[in-house]
Amino acid sequence: MYLLARRETRFLHSNTCCLSSKLVKRPEGLPISSKPAATRVASHRSPAWCSQAGTEAAPSGQPGGPRRTRPRRDGEASGTRAMWQLTWDELVLPEKVQVPIQAASGTAPSPPPPLCPSACAARTRRAARRFSQGAHCPTMEASPEYTEWGGQLVLVRWRPPPPPGLGEVLKAGLRRSCACSLQGTWAQLQALFPAVHWLRQYRPREALVGDVMSGLVIGIILVPQAIAYSLLAGLQPIYSLYTSFFANLIYFLMGTSRHVSVGIFSLLCLMVGQVVDRELLLAGFDPAQDGLGPGANRSSLNGSAAALVLGLQDCARDCYAIRVATALTLVAGLYQVLMGILGLGFVSAYLSQPLLDGFAMGASVTILTSQLRHLLGVRVPRHQGPGLVVSTWLSLLRSAGQANLCDVLTSAVCLAVLLAAKELSDRFRHRLRVPLPAELLVIVVATIVSHLGQFHERFGSSVAGDIPTGFMAPRVPDAGLMWRVALDAASLALVGSAFSISLAEMFARSHGYAVRANQELLAVGCCNVLPAFFHCFATSAALAKSLVKTATGCHTQLSSVVSAAVVLMVLLVLAPLFRDLQRSVLACVILVSLRGALRKVRDVPRLWRLSPADALVWVATAATCVLVSTEAGLLAGVLFSLLSLAGRTRHPRTALLARAGGSSFYGDPAEFEGLAPEPGVQVFRFTGPLYYANKDFFLQSLYSLTGLDVGYAIARRKERGPGEGAGEGDPVGGRDPGSGSGGASLVPAVTRFHAVVIDCAPLLFLDVAGLATLQELHRDYGALGISLLLACCNPSVTDTLRRGGFLGEDQGDVAEDGQLFPSVHCAVQAARARHQELAASNSIL
C-alpha cells in the first residue's frame, strides 16, 4: 500500500501514470468489500486519451474494474471521475513492480490473485485513521501484497489541515524560544560557537602542522597589509593591527568556514576612509592633513567654534577619526547581527557575481587614485562627494611638479620588486609549498634603508611615524556619531556580508563541506560589534588571504589563532620598529594587492558573449563607482541587476510546440527538426513566470503565434452576428490590417483550431494579475467555442488556480480533470476527444 504524505503534488491517473519517462500500469481487479467512513470507492472507465502513444490501458471490462480509494469530500457525489495526485519525486516504485503497459499487439498483464477483503479493509481503515488524526508518512512504502503481486496500488490522499493563524504561529515560536533544557542550551551554544563542536573532533596529527604553517604565513602577510591599509582608512597603523587581532580570534570561535581569512579588507577600508574624511571635514579639521606621520596627533582645527560645538578641545584629529570609524563599525556590525538573527543570509545572494566584480573593479580604481599622492610624495586634499576620482586626478596633475624625488624612486623600486615577485609566485605556485613573503621582505628592507639614510630628515619623505605598543583602554563609541553614519553603515554592512558569505560558500563547495549563511552574518557582525569598543574598524573576509590560507595547508580556523598570535607579537614588541617606514612603500603594497581586482576587466568580453545583461551590470557598477562614488556604484549595481532580472522575465521566450511523429514529445520547431503541429490544437509555451509585468506580453505573444486576437475576434463576431464562424479571418494585433502604416505585418489569419493548450511546466508562479489574465483568456476563448487547457502545472500554480477560482465553482477533482492535465500529450488527446464528441453530438442533432 502506498500512502500519499505531501502537499506538493502532480497528477496521476487511476489507471496509468508517467514516472521518469516510464509508463507504469496499475493492474485492475482490486476488490475492496469494506468501505470505511473516511474513504470511498469509485470506479469509472479509463478514457482513451490517457493512454500514451504506442501503449494502451488495460481493458476495463474485467470484474471489478479499475478502482481507487481516497477520502471523501463534503458534499461530493459518488461515481465522479478524478485525477490522482502523487508526489513526483517521492513515488519510487520497486524495480520489479514497474511494469510497462503492453503494446496494442501484446497481451495485457494477468490480474493479480484476489486480496483478502478483511485484510484490505483493515489496512485502509488504519491508513484513513492515521490521516484523519493528522499523521503522515515522510516516505511511501510498498506493502508485502503489492510487492508480491507486482502492481496493486491503493492510495489514500492526505488533506492537510488549514494553516494556523498568525497568533498561533507566534505563540508556538515563543513557546519554543522560551523552552529551556540542558540539551537545548548545549545545542544553541554549539550553533552560536561552532568551534565548541569541531574542537572536540580535532585531529592534531592530520591538521595541526597545516594550520600552524598557514597561520604563520597569514600573520606575516597581515602585518604589512594592516600597516598599509591604514592609509586607506585615514587612521593610525596601530588601529589596523588591533582590527586584525580581534577579528581573527572572534571568527575562530563563531565562523563556519574552515578556510576564510577575516580581517582588514581594502574595499571596506576605502569606504571607512571616505566616511572618516567627510566627518573630519565637517568637524573643521584640515583636509590636507592625512593623520599619519610625526605631528599627526596635534589638533589642527581651523577654528574654535567647531571645537566648542563638538566638544573636541582635548581630541586631536586622529582621536576624532577613530571615533568616527568605531561608530561606523558598530552600527554596521549591528546591522549584520540583526540580519543574522532574522535569517536574512539569503539577501547576499541577490548581489550577483558580475555586480561584485564590477564593484571591486570600480573601488580598486578609486583606491589606486587615492594612493598616487603617496607614490609621488605630494600633498593634495582628499576630495569628497561625486567625482572624487576625477577631482583627485586633476589635483595630482596640478601638483605633479612638486613630487618628492625620494618617494618617486622608492616607489619605482618597490613596485618593480613586488610585481616581479608576484609574477614568479604565480608562475611557480605549484612548486612552492609556501608563498613568497614579498611584502614583508620589502617592508623590512625599506624600513632599514629609510632609517639608515634618514630619508625623512634629509629629503622630507613621509613616514609612518610612531606606533605605540600594547592595547589602549576600551571606549564606548559615540552615540551622536552613530546616528550620523547610520546610512553609510548600511552599505558597509551589505558589502562586507556579501563578500564574506560568497567567499565562505565558494571555499565550502570546493572542499566538500557546508556553511551557514546566517551564522556567517552573526560571525562577521560580531567581528565588527565587539572590536568597535577596542578602537577597531570594519572587517570582512578577504579573497587574497583566503587563497593563501588554503594553499598553505589550512584545515580549520585554528590557523586564525596562530595569525592572531603573530599580530599580537608585533603589537607588544615589534610595532615601534616601523617608525621610519615610508608611506610610499605602503602605497606600493596596496597597489600590488589590487592586481586581481584590476585584472577582472579582461573578463568583460567573455561576459558579454555569455550574457550581455550581466556585462551591462558589470560596466554600470564599475563606471558609477569611478565617476560618482562607491556607495552610488553599489546602489547602481543593485538597480541594474533588478532591471536585468525584470527585463528577462518581462520578455521571456515563447513558442508554439509541435509533435514528433506519433510520440508524446512536443518541442519547439525552432530547436528540433521533423516536428509537425497537432491539427486543430495550438500548444503554447511561455518560459517564465506570469505576473503583472509580463501579462500583456503573454497575451500579445499568444495572439501573435496563434493568429487570433480574441478580443478583436469577439468584437467582430458581435458586429457580424452570431451566425458566422468564430475567429474566421480575424487579424492578429486587434485591428484591421488595412489601417495604419503597419498593416503590412498584420495579415489576416484564418483560425482553424478548436483548443489551446498552455504548457505550464516553465511557469514558475502566478500572481493576481497573471491569474486574472488566465481567467479572462478562458472566458474569451469559451465565448468563441475554443477550449483552454493547462498542462504540467507545478503545485504552486495549481494551488493559485484553485484558490483563485479558475476551476469554477466546483473545486473538486472533476474540475481539475477537465482543465488541468499531467502532460501536454494528455491535454492534446483530451481536446481532440472532446472535439470529436462535440462533432458527433452536433451531427446527430
Q: Is the pLDDT of residue 736 over 60?
A: no
Contact 710, 784 (CB under 8 A): yes
* DSSP conformation class of 571: I
**Encoded amino acid at 591, one letter:** L
Closest by Cα among 528, 565, 562, 558 to 258: 558
Lowest-confidence pick of 303-312, 530-539, 770-779: 303-312
Cell numbers for 247: 577579528
Q: Is the pLDDT of residue 383 over 80?
A: no
Please state the φ and ψ torsions of residue 17, each to the nearest 5 degrees: -155, 155
* pLDDT band at residue 184 under the 50/70/90 scheme: confident
pLDDT at 314: 54
Rounded Cα gap, residues 605 and 586, in angstroms: 33
Q: Is the pLDDT of residue 656 over 80?
A: yes
Cell numbers for 304: 574654535
pLDDT at 757: 92
Rounded Cα gap, residues 795 and 183, in angstroms: 38
pLDDT at 619: 93
Q: Is the pLDDT of residue 180 over 80?
A: no
Q: Which residues pair with 17 in a beta bridge?
A: 24
Residues in CB range of 323: below 8 A, 6 or more apart = 315, 477, 478, 481
pLDDT at 698: 92
Rounded Cα gap, residues 368 and 721, in angstroms: 76
pLDDT at 731: 44
Q: How many CA atoms lie within 13 A of 509 on its CB side?
A: 5
Q: Determine the average pLDDT of the residues in 668-676.
A: 85
Distances (CA, A) of 129 to 120, 121, 620, 683: 14, 12, 61, 43
Q: Is the pLDDT of residue 159 over 80?
A: no
Q: Is the pLDDT of residue 398 over 50?
A: yes
Rounded to 10 degrees, what is the CA torsion of 380, 384, 385, 389? Answer: 40
- Using CA of residue 284, residue 289, residue 291, residue 297, what is the dihedral sign? negative
Contact 731, 713 (CB under 8 A): no
| Burial grade of 461 (CB within 10 A; 0-12, 13-18, 19 or more) | buried
Q: Is the pLDDT of residue 3 over 60?
A: no
**Encoded amino acid at 447, one letter:** T
In sequence order, what E strands does 20-130 have? 22-25, 39-43, 67-71, 84-86
pLDDT digits (tens, 9 = 90+) for 22-48: 333 334 443 333 333 333 333 333 344
In sequence order, what E strands does 2-152 have? 2-3, 10-12, 16-19, 22-25, 39-43, 67-71, 84-86
Which secondary-structure segment (H or E) carries 244?
Answer: helix 237-254
Q: Which residues pair with 263 in a beta bridge?
A: 540
pLDDT digits (tens, 9 = 90+) for 815-838: 555 788 888 988 998 888 888 888
Could you give the angle at which helices 204-233 and 266-283 cross, rounded to 10 degrees? Answer: 30
Classified as helix, coil or strand, 67 is strand
Three-state secondary structure of 69-94: EEECCCCCCCCCCCCEEECCCCCCCC
pTM: 0.68
pLDDT at 1: 33
Contact 92, 124 (CB under 8 A): no
Rounded Cα gap, residues 128 and 106, in angstroms: 38
**Domains identified in the chain and CATH numbers:** 2-156 (no CATH), 205-643 (no CATH), 652-707+751-844 (3.30.750.24)
Mean pLDDT of all residues belonging to the chain: 75
Rounded Cα gap, residues 215 and 561, in angstroms: 7
